[in-house]
Each structure stands twice: as C-alpha cells, then as structure tokens.
Structure 1
Amino acid sequence: MFETLATFTALTPGALAFLLAAGFIAGLVRGFAGFALSAIIMASAAVVIPPVELIPVCFLMEGVASIAMFRGGWRDADLGVVWVLVIGSAIGVPLGLLATTSISVEGSQLAALCLILMLTLAQLFKMVPRAIGSRPGLYATGLGAGIATGLASVGGMVVALYVLSRQDDAARMRGSLVMFLFGGMFTTGVTLTLYGLLDGESLRRGLVLAPVVLLGVLLGTLLFRPSLVPFYRRFCLFLLCVLSVAGLVRLI
C-alpha cells in the first residue's frame, strides 16, 4: 500500500514518509499559530525533495489549511488590516520577482531571513519602534511582504512580525494571519500557474499529503484554548526565530 502511494507521488518510500511526517508537524503548528506551514515543510523536507518541487505542494497544503481554518479566521480577524496587507502584498510580489533578475536568489533569501531574525529578536526583547505597528507601518508591511514573497517566499513571516507587534489579543492576531494567508492563496496560485509549477505530479503529492496536514491542523486548532493563549505571542516569536535560523543554516 505504502509503496503504491510512493509510486503514485513519484517519491521513494523514505522520502514520502519524511514528507508526511513534516506535513503533520507543519499542520499542527499552523492550526495553533495560524502560520508557518510552508516554512516548516521547506525547512525539513527540502533535505529529501528539491525546494522547487515543494513550492506547489506547500501552496496546495496552505489552501487546505486555509479552508479548514476560514470560519474561525473570519470571525476573529481584523479584516480592515488583512485586506490592506493582501492588496499591498499583491502589489509587492511582482516587484520582488522583478528584483530576482538582478539579485541572486540565495542573496535575497539571506538578506530577508537576517532581517526577520533581527526584528523578531527585537520584539522578544521589547525593542521594536512603535512605528512598526502604526498605519504607515501597515502599508509598508503589505508591500514589504509581497516583495519578500517574490524574493525569498517569506512574506508570511513578515506579516506575522507586524501582527505580533500590534499587541492585540491572541485570537485576533491568529485570525488575521489565517485570513492573510487565505487571501494570498489567489495571487500565489496565479503566479505558480504562470510559471508552470502546478502540474500533475504536484497535485498527486498534494492529494496524498492533504489528509495528514488536515489532521495536524485540526489537532493544532484544538490546542488553541484559553489555558495556552497567554503563551501564544511568545511561542510565535520563538517559532519565527527557529524558522529564520533553520533557513539560514540551509543556505549556508
């Protein structure tokens, strides 16, 4: 049975098992934190599957997670903030993609991850300027997230930093992240289609991985309960640190 699934997905049994484990953990974190699914899959499964093959799979899994979390996200999110971020990001993505013609992919990823790590550490130690959580900061974050997505596929982490800097209650922060990622699905889908990355192989892998990711998302959502809410912001900041460092290690 498992070997049949491996053949269906054009992966070795070992690579498929690794991808399924990474998908479950990523779904669990996504269900609790509201983001980081793609980053976790990329940081872990890239050791056995080329990153370019993981990009469309991550997109499909983000879609599964976003649909599963849509109801709660819509209820809790600050939608006024979310739509500004989504529109700004849509404007910024082409700029980021354009910049890749003059900047190496590795260099852009290195710069983006270093910036995210520094800003995250600043938040942990409460040294973030108030301007980051202001209205101008909102517009800059939306545009910056789009550029970061085009350059290094880390736009969600940029938005997470902004949302966490606003000091809202945990449910609103999480809901805003969920709805931003839901809105970003459409622009990302268009981009992947134009670049020819959404093919039959990606769809087959997504079909096999989806139930495992969905199970993780549902369990993670159950973990988001009142007794753990006080730890939400700090957990997310530590998560951003870990993801940034993991990305830097992979590049170096």
Structure 2
Amino acid sequence: MPPALAALLPLDARAATLFLAALVGGLVRGFTGFGFAMVFVPIAAAAVGPAAAVGLIWVVDAPFSLWFGARSARRATWGEVIPLLVGSTLLLPVGAWLLTRLDPGVTRWITAGAILLALAALVSGWRYRGVPSLPLSLATGGASGLASGFAALGGMPLAVFWLASQRASAGQVRGNLMAYFGLSTLVSGVVFTATGVLSGPRFAEALPLLLPYGLGLAVGSHGFRLASDRVFRAVAYTVILLAVCLALPLR
C-alpha cells in the first residue's frame, strides 16, 4: 500500500494491525528462531509503508534478539556463524540503500520470488552434506544482509542454509539463528540509523508493540520445547510458504 494511502487508515486500525502482526510474528520467531519479519513486514507495510515497517521491526526485535543471542551463544556453531556475519555486514548497507530507492511493488515481487525458489529447493529434497564451505557461508551471509537491508528478511537465507543441512538438528538451527541475530542486530542498527530507516518516531511507535511481541516469543519458545525435529521442519516450511503469500503485491 502506498504510504500516502496508509496514512489515511484510522489510528486505531493501524494500531490493531501492528499489534496483531507483532503477536503472530513473535509466535513464529519464538518457535522457529526466524520468521518475525516474514510475518510482520508485509502486514505492517500495508499500514505504515515498507521503510517504516523495517524500522519498526528493528526497534521491536532488538532487545529480544540481544537477549536470545546471549543465551544461545554456547549452543551456536561459531565456525558457521562468523562467516555468515561477515558476508551479511558487507551487503547489508546495499540492501538498506535499495529499500530507500526501489519501488515497493518491485521489492515485494523480488522478495516473493526469492522465497519461493528457496522453498522449492527445500521441498524438492535438496540437501548438502558435510561442513559448509567458506564461499557458501559468505554468499549466504551476503544474501542475508541484502535481504535484511531491503526487506528485513535476513533470516530467510539462513533458515534455508541450515534447514538444508543433513548435519543440523532443530536445536542447532535455532541456536545458530538466535546467535547470529544477536550480533547482526547491532550491525543493522548502525546501518539503518545512517540511512534514515531508524528515527525517533519509529522508537515511539514501536514501544506498544513490545508487549505482544514478547508474549508471542514466550509462547512460541515453549512450543518449540515440545516439538520434534519433524514438526519443527514442517512448521518452518509452512512459515516460508506463508511468507511467499504475504510478500506477493496482489493488493
């Protein structure tokens, strides 16, 4: 939705939309370790515009990302996480630049197409064996940084990266994602501030969303502890498919 049209929505309708997006996004993030942006950004963008939605998601998620990242540090495979962070840091500024210049409809078509290709690769049964190579890790991190910058979807390439591994368990995937986001949040905060995506109004508008997001995270995390690896992967694939549907600019 164009920002000018989004501004015409009643304040209570906009607030309810953002509240629901934060709650559902928190549930998904708590269970899978990723997916908050996949749910939140398409919904929030319809109410406040794409750039504002990306700024909001950073403010809402930052305290929780840092907390969960610190808790997951011991479980993370840092030999895989660090190269991803390097690649992400290099291309995140490019993604943020694109966010402020690309037409929102074009961005959403690109996002939906990329997610759909990733889902198709996973569902087809494609897997990689062994330890991920350095070029693969850097390229995946770069894709994550690019996606994070222009659509706050940095978790998508990483989820595919670890879900396609025959070595990683559900707990390992989730731990790596949490650790990665804990550090990448600091980098993206600097980049988003420098590019104008983060501003004072974003912090004020995000404060009421901390409660529904935190509640969703708590419930989702509890659900993860009760789920098997098979259920975890099924839910993760469903989240990816949902992201495709939400990203399509059909409205």
TM class by smaller structure: 0.7 to 0.9
Distance 1:101 1:24 in 2: 27
Q: Secondary structure at the match of 2:47?
A: coil
Deviation string, structure 1 residues 139-191 (Cα, Å, up to 9, x no partner): 22112222333444432211111111113111110011111111111121112
* Residue aligning to 1:93: 92
Cα–Cα, structure 1 residues 190 and 87, in superposed 2: closer, same or farther, change >3 Å?
Answer: same
1:190 aligns with 2:190: yes
Instruction: In structure 2, give the amino acid aligned to 1:83.
Output: I
Distance 2:100 2:189 in 1: 21
Shift of 1:38: 1.8
> Structure 1: where are the runs of 5+ without partners?
1-9
* Residue aligning to 2:112: 113
Question: What percent identity do the matched residue pairs reach?
Answer: 27
Shift of 1:220: 0.9
* Residue aligning to 2:211: 211
- Verify the 8 A CA contact 1:96 1:149 in the aligned structure 2: yes
Per mean C-alpha deviation after superposition, the further-off stretch among 149-158 and 173-182 is 149-158
- Verify the 8 A CA contact 1:110 1:251 in the aligned structure 2: no
Q: Secondary structure at the match of 2:126?
A: coil
* Residue aligning to 1:224: 224
1:67 aligns with 2:66: yes
1:54 aligns with 2:21: no
* Residue aligning to 1:76: 75
Distance 2:212 2:128 in 1: 40
Shift of 1:101: 9.4
How many equivalent pairs are there? 242
Q: Secondary structure at the match of 2:225?
A: coil
Distance 2:184 2:250 in 1: 25
Deviation string, structure 1 residues 4-29 (Cα, Å, up to 9, x no partner): xxxxxx97122112211211111111
Distance 2:134 2:155 in 1: 19
- Verify the 8 A CA contact 2:25 2:36 in the aligned structure 1: yes
Cα–Cα, structure 1 residues 11 and 179, in superposed 2: closer, same or farther, change >3 Å?
Answer: farther
* Residue aligning to 1:4: none
- Verify the 8 A CA contact 1:35 1:156 in the aligned structure 2: yes
1:22 aligns with 2:33: no
Cα–Cα, structure 1 residues 213 and 148, in superposed 2: closer, same or farther, change >3 Å?
Answer: closer
- Verify the 8 A CA contact 2:91 2:145 in the aligned structure 1: yes
Q: Give 1:82-161 correspondences, 5 Å limit.
A: 82-96=81-95, 106-128=105-127, 133-161=132-160
- Verify the 8 A CA contact 2:128 2:164 in the aligned structure 1: no
Distance 1:23 1:126 in 2: 32
- Verify the 8 A CA contact 2:143 2:157 in the aligned structure 1: yes
Shift of 1:77: 1.7
Per mean C-alpha deviation after superposition, the further-off stretch among 157-166 and 193-202 is 193-202
Cα–Cα, structure 1 residues 106 and 134, in superposed 2: closer, same or farther, change >3 Å?
Answer: farther
* Residue aligning to 1:7: none
Deviation string, structure 1 residues 27-56 (Cα, Å, up to 9, x no partner): 111111111112211122222222222211
TM-score (norm: length of structure 1): 0.84
Cα–Cα, structure 1 residues 96 and 18, in superposed 2: closer, same or farther, change >3 Å?
Answer: closer
Deviation string, structure 1 residues 209-235 (Cα, Å, up to 9, x no partner): 112211111111111114444311221
TM-score (norm: length of structure 2): 0.84
